[in-house]
Chain A
Amino acid sequence: MSDKGEPNARRAVVEMLGIEKSFPGVRALNGVRFDLYPGEVHALMGENGAGKSTLMKILTGVYQPDAGEIRVDGAPVALPGPNAAQALGISIIHQELFLMNHLSAAQNIFIGREPRKGFGIFVDEDQMKRDAAAIFQRMKVNIPPAAEVGHMTVARQQLVEIAKALSYNARVLIMDEPTSALNETEVEHLFSVIDDLKAHGVGIVYITHKMDEVKRIADRVTVMRDGQYIDTLPAATTPMATIIQLMVGRELADQHRATGHGTDEEMLRVTGLNRGTMIRDVSFTLRKGEILGFAGLMGAGRTEVARAVFGADPIDSGTIHIHGRERRIATPADAVAEGIAYLSEDRKHFGLVTGMSVRDNITMASWYRFISGRLFMRDTAMDGVAKEYVEKLRVKTPSVSQITRLLSGGNQQKVVIGKWLLRDCDILIFDEPTRGIDVGAKAEIYRLLEELASQGKGIIVISSELPEVLRLSHRIAVMCEGRITGELDGRTATQEEIMTLATQRNAAAA
């Protein structure tokens, strides 16, 4: 079937043919095919909502296809549930984290497959912790197996998910945006694990929106668009531009660096902010028309700072000046009233009311504007405004009345962005704004942020992707272990400079 870039003449371990899947109002997959050979990394790419996650959920028995055939080792199989897929050696790292928050890392990894003792009744916790520690060591990450997952950052939770998938020792491993919350080091460690798996003949499906990752590890690339199969190409010889063009069906502007800088007018001044051990004496300023990047390794405390400034978490000490005047911000409501917006890194839990419509989510922070007679909601007006933003941000949704939960991850992110754009705050804090967003949309969001800055807003961008920080920021604050370890000029900073500051652990002692 596929004569392009096929690794060798071995038999495909997985083949999917003519897969169809519809959800109410959405044709998610339309005659999609896909195959995977042992020992290859097959990247699956496409814009938000192209159907990547859905295709993989079908392969892992989470969804049932409406039509089509799945073959494993050449034989047609039925996958009525996750069990069936696991039994065939297919395992997945889900895009949305599916973890049990009250259980420890080790308990999550081995859930349902616990090592037993005492006639198979009792769980052998020690054995389990040892096994988990071994997997973490292989991934070169430092997560205590007994730590409760609910207390971890999204990044660490993602690492636990990866560890869990690895623990199955599967023949087929599907990774749905495994690195969306990871920093460069962790990504490198993951890649070496992937290389190792490849060497052992494991077939890997790799879904990502990060082009450099595809170049780095993929053997073949399959591109999907609007629920349809577009093409399968060898990763090494195909120019990225071609792939992007296939994905989006149009050309994209080149990447470039930030130019100019903000005005001298100070919008936000944070002084001596402290919160437990997570935020230590953090001070910074944000100027009008400026994009201030926050860089750092996982757990550096950037999210903590953002949440504290936004009033989402209580602080121990510190003052916040807005437009030169000291303000007490105790709740997010205070913050929004002061013109601060915060886009959370965890959209599922903190960003969206997933049970409500796209319209209600986009207008949520601005509902007060859509009230007539002090009580009644002007739904038609809200529809109009929401439609405007759906078009502006190219949200892929059948209508603004669609329940947000049914949107793909990236489109959900756009809805949250839309919410804050509509609220029209002066100070915008974007925490991982492009997490899970495809290249096309990413460029649009960058353009949008720049436009907002040029309109005179102050913008803080927290991002774990260094190219993104460098691409956007006029100034870059780097954090390590709850402190700001340095500030760099965005026009001249390099990745190396940032990494140096981000790992300056002993700055604490000084």
Chain B
Amino acid sequence: ETYFPIIAKGFSHQFWQAVKAGAEEAAGRNGVTITFEGPNTEAEIDKQTDILNAAIAKNPQGLGFAALDSQAQVPALQKAADAGIPIVAFDSGVDSDLPLTTCTTDNMAAAAAAADGLAKAIGEEGKIAAVIHDQTSATGIGRRDGFLNRIKEAYPKIEVVDVQYANDALKAADNVKAMLQANPDIKGIFASNEGAAVGLAVAIKETGAKIVGVGFDSGKSQKDAINEGTLIGSVTQNPVGIGQCVVDSLAKALKGETLPKVIDTGFYWYDKSNMADPKVAAVLYD
């Protein structure tokens, strides 16, 4: 029996559940079994390494790994490689040749797309802010910097007045409200993951502020908010596709197929206008 442990950066958040769904779908298709695991928070790098060690101990036929730190876990991955286990990286890469391929979307580029969407909606000038789901994780940093860099490079008349951090929807909501309080002339806010986006939508609803909200990821709350007009749009990576890519790639590797170094699973800017578009709808999840 072929078995692939898939080790993500988390598991309880929507994004990771969508990756899991994609991986399970592909596992069914390829006739392999998988487990899907991840640490509690994206800060617990050592715990993720422990998960990786436990996975290697099971002598799997392949391994999917979303490294929390691009450098720190290379030695642990080396152990897997030494044991002859094919490795596929996903979500974000590792600074090493060990993975046969990396199923990823560029967080920076995706966040830049969100910046474009937000800029366009506010007429490319005025004050904006961002609420980021994590200050130190690769995803948080990538999305924050991708967003901020794009604004700085492409929209000189836009000023980012505040960047706040909140790791759940409730805290994000209170955070955004404080932000709006401090800067009543804010025209738009970017939220960097599903939880932050839900919080942003709640805050906009509660304050009735006439601002442009832009989210990230998918989920029913966000889709509803976009349909209602509370949020103007959002960027989704293709987590289901990432999950499928990981399992499919591992299956291919077992068959001896060669894989490209990077498989870009893409991302989409979506708003009211294109949510029904089958290509977009396919990557959205509840």
A and B touch in the complex (CB under 8 A): no
Instruction: Show the binding face of A for B, using Cβ within 8 Å.
Output: none
